[in-house]
A and B are shown apart, each in its own frame.
Chain A
Amino acid sequence: MKTLQVLETAYRATVEEQDDTIVWLTHAMKGAGGEFGLLLTGNAVCYAVHGQRAPALALGAWTQSHAADLGADVAALAAGGVPVHAVEEDLEERGLLDARLLEALTVVPRAGLPQLFDEYPRIWKW
């Protein structure tokens, strides 16, 4: 059963988890046979920005080995057949409409959300 993952919270614990935990969860459940779409809303639309890469955190002698690569993780979902959408107004508010974004991204105006929601039997907001 198709499920739309709606992601709003962004950059929460992404340094210490080295992933966005919902993007990661989606990857894991897809591997278990799930069929998903991903809707980026609010600050999560920033995940569609091409080429972002978190810097490695360094504290004392400790340096992080695998800083999060959120853009690549979202792109990998798209490459794996997960439709990835972002809310147009949220992109615009954040100055991203003219930015280099994920190529497979579908930009959806807020007015188009009811139609998108109707396409999915299940909608999980995170």
Chain B
Amino acid sequence: MQNYLLIESRDPFTAQAAPGHVELAVGLRRAGNAVTLYLVQNGVLPARAGADGGALHEAMTAGVEVLADDFSLRERGIGGRDVARGVKPAVIGLVVDRLADAWKVILL
């Protein structure tokens, strides 16, 4: 088993590649790896409750941990109560911790 932290800075509403990234996260998880998807910048937009976040929900159902950068959430006016269920706000230091723990960290 390997550990993957995938950092998604783009949103699925404007970036065609973004849905494929969630697909990759799910594929890595189903292959038996630990996978975290860290949403940052506009990547947090589908994490707003009520947004079209079906892909994120699918990822979480598959066992992918989905985190949203707290700075990016605040920048976009997404408060704690506005975050979709299952998505956890996180601090950027988590990326550093995972790098230091030798996770494969990829900025998509």
* Closest 7 pairs (CB-CB, A-B): A114-B31, A114-B27, A114-B28, A125-B106, A123-B106, A123-B104, A42-B17
A122 within 8 A of B: yes
Cβ of B108: which chain A residues have Cβ within 8 Å of it? 125
Interface residues of B (CB under 8 A from A): 2, 4, 17, 20, 23-24, 27-28, 30-31, 33, 104, 106-108
15 more A-B residue pairs beyond the given contacts A41-B17, A117-B4, A117-B104, with a C-beta to C-beta distance below 8 A: A6-B106, A8-B17, A42-B17, A110-B24, A110-B27, A111-B27, A114-B31, A115-B31, A117-B28, A118-B2, A118-B31, A118-B33, A123-B104, A123-B106, A124-B106
A113 within 8 A of B: yes
Cβ of A113: which chain B residues have Cβ within 8 Å of it? 24, 27
| Minimum distance in angstroms from A90 CB to a CB of chain B | 9
Contact B23 A110 (CB under 8 A): yes
| Minimum distance in angstroms from A119 CB to a CB of chain B | 10
Instruction: Look across to chain B and name the residue whose beta carbon is closest to the beta carbon of A126.
Output: B107
| Minimum distance in angstroms from B30 CB to a CB of chain A | 8
The 8 A CB mask of A92-126 against B (1 = contact, 0 = none) is 00000000000000000011011101100111110
Contact B106 A114 (CB under 8 A): no
| Minimum distance in angstroms from B69 CB to a CB of chain A | 18
| Minimum distance in angstroms from A112 CB to a CB of chain B | 9
Contact B33 A110 (CB under 8 A): no
Cβ of A42: which chain B residues have Cβ within 8 Å of it? 17
Cβ of B30: which chain A residues have Cβ within 8 Å of it? 114
A3 to B108, CA, bound (A): 16
Cβ of B28: which chain A residues have Cβ within 8 Å of it? 114, 117
Instruction: Look across to chain A and name the residue whose beta carbon is closest to the beta carbon of B25.
Output: A114
Contact A114 B104 (CB under 8 A): no
